[in-house]
Amino acid sequence: MSTLMNTYARLPVTFTHGKGALLYDDGGKAYLDGVSGIAVTNLGHAHPAVSAAISEQASSLVHCSNLFRIDSQERAADQLTTLAEMDRVFFCNSGAEANEAAIKLARLHGQRLGVEQPQIIVLEHAFHGRTLATLSATGNRKIQAGFEPLVSGFVRAPRNDLEAIETIATSNTGVVAVMLEPVQGEGGIHPLDREYLAALKELCRKQNWLLIFDEIQSGNGRTGSYFYYQQLGFKPDIVTTAKALGNGVPIGACLAQGQAAELFAPGHHGSTYGGNPLACAAASAVMDVISKSSMSERAPILAHSVLESFQSSFKHGSFIKELRQAGLMIGIELQSACGELAKRALQEGILINVTAGNTIRLLPPLVMEQEQAQELGERLAKTVNTWLEESSPLQGAA
């Protein structure tokens, strides 16, 4: 029996190393990575520039604390604020922590305006993390159940429903911010309507609410631009990211522009590890590669290859409820629960993920080769074909 706490339902495979879009298990079998460690290794495994930056930094200075100036943190901050078109950044170690910082900024903004009990509007099907505040902001009862009392100060609205938010605005004078994922990831890859997001931006401006985008999963080149909002033609006040920022070295970031960027003062927030030299060296190398090699432009092209080959080999089109995509965030929603597909895919030599019960989620690395993308789509189709032909879901849908 493992002495690890029982927090994950792990698949029966152990990886020893990887290269690009391939991972190898302890028996030497190769797997095509369609998950990227859940949108983390956007530059693939063992990327030479990232590995070199980590080794070099590790051999000089790993950590010194935020009691002192850290050159590599300043450099990473300049790169990230430039890429994001934001004014300032706070570095932390994970997505949940980045969202905690954003929630604190929103509350501080409210308190400054004289709102004693500031409220943040959040959406149904949202996922913002597992800390107490972020699970309270998350729109999934399964994640909250057992951990009550939840953190107060969140008001829930259905996604893509501007009227619902306008109604909240008229009845709740405590609202100070709206926080959402412009592409809901764990919720099943749902890009929110662009008109809805633009109207929300305008509403936030009128109400002096902060608009917070959680781009922890959709950021860092995954959707075709560094951040997804750069395709929308406007910026949020605050954006959070983590996951692929360090390509596997833990680092998170909360960025802000305008008044939101000036809210924190010494003593308001902090993190022992946040933005340490090692994490920042990794993030700098990642940002260098993504910006200099136009890596994000590969996202829609690769997604097209995956989907085209999936669709040409998949035999049961009527079993697909909806296909959704934003760059290399792909959701294939099926007519029934399909959790067991991830295990079956392993036998086929591909790594996939199932989210929201019935949605195959693909998040391949941006460095994947065209042929590998086609192979991923083809092998996925084969896996789902066999599953449907051998088990009952097909009869249920017929």
Query: CA–CA separation, 189 vs 175, rounded Å?
Result: 27
Structure tokens at 70: 């850290």
Binders in 120-179 for ligand PLP, by CB under 6 A: 127-129
In a 3-state reduction of DSSP, which class is residue 211? strand
CB of 203 to ligand PLP, least distance (A): 22
Nearer to ligand PLP (CB atom), residue 32 or residue 216? 216
Nearer to ligand PLP (CB atom), residue 44 or residue 129? 129
DSSP-assigned letter for residue 254: E
CB of 126 to ligand PLP, least distance (A): 8
In a 3-state reduction of DSSP, which class is residue 364? coil
**127 within 8 A of 181, measured Cβ to Cβ:** yes
Figure out which of the listed residues 216, 278, 289, 341 binds ligand PLP, where binding follows CB under 6 A.
Answer: 216
Residue 185 interacts with ligand PLP (CB under 6 A): yes or no: yes
DSSP-assigned letter for residue 45: B
Figure out which of the listed residues 70, 96, 212, 261 binds ligand PLP, where binding follows CB under 6 A.
Answer: 96
Name the one range near ligand PLP by CB under 6 A: 20-28, 211-219, 225-233, 268-276: 211-219
Figure out which of the listed residues 37, 41, 135, 186 binds ligand PLP, where binding follows CB under 6 A.
Answer: 186
Interface mask toward ligand PLP for 218-247; x: CB under 6 A: ------------------------x-----
CB of 59 to ligand PLP, least distance (A): 27
End-to-end CA distance of the chain: 43
CB of 196 to ligand PLP, least distance (A): 18
CB of 159 to ligand PLP, least distance (A): 13
In a 3-state reduction of DSSP, which class is residue 224? coil
Cα separation values, 389 from 111, 295, 316, 386, Å: 59, 38, 10, 5
Nearer to ligand PLP (CB atom), residue 128 or residue 269? 128
Binders in 274-333 for ligand PLP, by CB under 6 A: none
Cα separation values, 143 from 20, 147, 213, Å: 33, 8, 21
Is the preceding omega at residue 250 within 30 degrees of 0, hence cis? no
Nearer to ligand PLP (CB atom), residue 33 or residue 214? 214
Structure tokens at 6: 């029982």
Residue 100 interacts with ligand PLP (CB under 6 A): yes or no: no
Figure out which of the listed residues 33, 100, 181, 348 binds ligand PLP, where binding follows CB under 6 A.
Answer: 181
The beta-carbon contacts of 386-390 under 8 Å, at least 24 apart in sequence, are 386/344, 387/338, 387/340, 387/341, 387/344, 388/316, 388/319
- Going by their DSSP bridges, the two strands 22-25 and 154-157 should be labelled as unpaired
Nearer to ligand PLP (CB atom), residue 57 or residue 217? 217
Nearer to ligand PLP (CB atom), residue 22 or residue 251? 251
In a 3-state reduction of DSSP, which class is residue 292? helix
Residues that bind ligand PLP (CB under 6 A): 38, 94-96, 99, 127-129, 181, 185-186, 214, 216-217, 242
